[in-house]
Structure formats: C-alpha cells, structure tokens
Structure 1
Amino acid sequence: MPQPTGRLVRKDDGVYVVLDRIFKAPIDDVWSYFTRSPRLAQWIGEYTGLPSTGAVRFRMNAEENAEWGNVSILECAAPHRFAADVGPAGDSWRVYWHLTEASGHTTLTFARRLRSLTEEADVGVSWDYYLDRLIAARSGKAMPEWNDYYPAMIEHYQSLCRELNHDLRIEQAALHAVELRRTGTLG
C-alpha cells in the first residue's frame, strides 16, 4: 500500500501541501512529463494552446467527466520552475513545481496551495495519487488504484491540517493580545 508523503508548508501567500519525488532521470526528461501534452496525458491530463502566451486550457484525464479549465501561467523557467493558477478567476488553485538535478537524479518538489485547512485535506491524497501515476507513466508500470489512496491516506492529511490550524489560531490569539497591549485596551 502506498504511504502519504505530503507535508504542509506556510508561504507568504498561503499554506501549501508539498510533495517530493526523486527520479533516476535527467531533468529535461522529467520536465517533459509536465510540459509536453502527450507525456502529460500519460499520467494526469492534457492541454491545448500555446504556453508561450501565458495561458492554456487543461483537462484532467484521470477523473471521469473532467471539464476543460483555464490555466494562467505565472512562471515558467524551464526546466527548473513552474507556477500557475488553474481554474476560473476567483476559484482557481495555485500549483508550482521545482526540479533540481544532481548525480543522475532529478528531484521534483510539487505544491498546491490550500484554500481551507478545514475543507481541503483530501488535496494531499489526490497529489500523492497523481504523482505516483507520474512515476508509473515514466516507468511503464500499471497505474495505481485510487482506492489504495483514499480513504487510507486521508487521516494523515486531516491531522496535518488540524495541527496547523491549531497553531495558526494560537499565533493569531497571541498577535491579538500584543495588539491589545500596544493600544492600551488590555490591562
């Protein structure tokens, strides 16, 4: 059974679920599985349009009845960094991936920003599944089964979200107390 690999990372623009994978492959090969539509289609979906324009349309093929959605490319520094907003404005989700190569191996760090710690714990499960599909596509192995990931992994991600949500509430309360002291409205 696969094991959950994600962690939560706080950044200036929010909280991201972050996952890493290591490939025994050159960086350009791994990059192509994210940027060339035929290779992308082997594990997650396809896109149409010209990425050089800063926008494409994307549809996941690992989900039934997935619809085409807009992708706004925020950064593309081949073959090392990519960031985009996926979906309609106001309801999009931010993703990024970074690739580094050393000693014949390429390390992928993939992240998706969470909109809610209380409602999006399943995002980590989904990306463990999709990144394992990438590994299967690259190696020519059978695709993993969703049922091996969900619900088995959900508790890991729910726990991470609960813990971070708790920590954020404590930080917020401490900042509020400091502000009250500063303004003289507290004791």
Structure 2
Amino acid sequence: MTKLTGRLDDDRRTLVLTRQFDVPAEQLWTDFTDPDRLERWFGAWTGDPASGQVMLTMNAEAESVPAVPCRILHCDRPRRLSVTVTDSFGTWQLAIGFDEDEGSTRLTLRHEEVDLQTVPEVGPGWEWYLDRLTAAVAGEAPPTLEDFVDTYAPMGQDYAVMISGS
C-alpha cells in the first residue's frame, strides 16, 4: 500500500497533503494553470481566468464528469493559487502553495473546510491525484484507475483512523 501523506491541520477542518519536486515553482505552477499541462494528470479547464472563473472538467475519473465552475479566489504566481470548485458533492475550497528553495519546490495542497466524514474518500483521491502529478512531472505514466482501486482506495481505512483520533 502507498504511504498515507495527508494530515489534518490543527483546526481539524483542513486536509493537508504535500509533495516535494526537483523542479522550480514556475514549472509546477504551469502544471496547475496551463490547460494542456493540467490535462496530463487531472483535467482541463476552459474559459478566461481573468474573469475569475473557468469551467473545469476532470478527465481521470471512471465515468464522464460534466464541467463544473471553478472560481479563482487568489492567484499569486508562482506562489499560491486558491480556488473553489462546485460540483454535485458540494463546494471544495482548495489552496495550493508552491515553496521553492534552490530549484526544488514543496507543493502543499490544502483542502479547507473539509467535511470530516468525507476524508476517508477524499484523502485517497488527493493522494492519487498528487501521485499522478508527480508522474507527469517526471515524464512517466500516471497511476491509473485500477491503481486507485487497488492501492489508493484502501488508504481510506487509515484516513478513517486519522479522523477518529485513534
């Protein structure tokens, strides 16, 4: 099983996951903000980001997912991107930080105001997506849906233990 990397912040309302990359922050920024690069590991967006909103379509899911609105709350290139995404499951508040030190970048994804009951499903999903990003940055094939089912979904048990405080 892949190692669980997520944790709850002190407020117990924010799920935090990090990854370290041997690339500059600007490159990772582009992996999130350029629709062609985002499509390699997560999905695609259409629209004009200058308007403060784009439409986001996830492309790695098992079934076709309709485009959903993604509102851009904060954009500080290449340090921080904060968005809300509204879909059939509710509104997701996400903040992505890019901290560079000598060409290496620590990416921190914060899923804010997360419903604790959803963490056993949401946590493994973010682990999978961030590992897909890691593979895309390395020029490798990203983990598949089968990998999610076999390797990432079972992490839900560890996330359930984490939210229970055991």
Match of 1:94 in 2: 93
Match of 1:6 in 2: 6
Q: CA deviation at 1:120?
A: 3.4
Q: CA deviation at 1:110?
A: 0.5
After TM superposition, list the pairs within 5 Å mapping 1:83-162 onto structure 2: 83-87=82-86, 91-144=90-143, 145-162=147-164
Identity rate of aligned residues, in percent? Answer: 35
Cα separation, 2, equivalents of 1:99 and 1:26: 9
Instruction: State the one-letter code of the partner of 1:4.
Output: L
Q: CA deviation at 1:88?
A: 5.3
Deviates more, 1:81-90 or 1:100-109: 81-90
Match of 1:171 in 2: none
Instruction: State the one-letter code of the partner of 1:120.
Output: V
Per-residue displacement from partner, 1:72-104 (whole Å, max 9, x unpaired)? 111011100111110159921101100011022
Q: Which has the higher contact order (CA 8 A, sep 6+)?
A: 2
Cα separation, 2, equivalents of 1:114 and 1:15: 5
Partner secondary structure for residue 29 of structure 1: helix
Instruction: State the one-letter code of the partner of 1:152.
Output: P
Aligned residues: 162
TM value normalised by structure 1: 0.80
TM value normalised by structure 2: 0.90
Partner secondary structure for residue 124 of structure 1: helix
Q: Structure 2: any 5+ residue segments left out of the alignment? A: none
2:33 corresponds, among 32, 35, 43, to 35
CA spacing shift, 1:48–1:117, aligned 2, 3 Å: same
Cα separation, 1, equivalents of 2:114 and 2:79: 25
Q: Decide which structure has the larger Cα Rg and report it.
A: 1
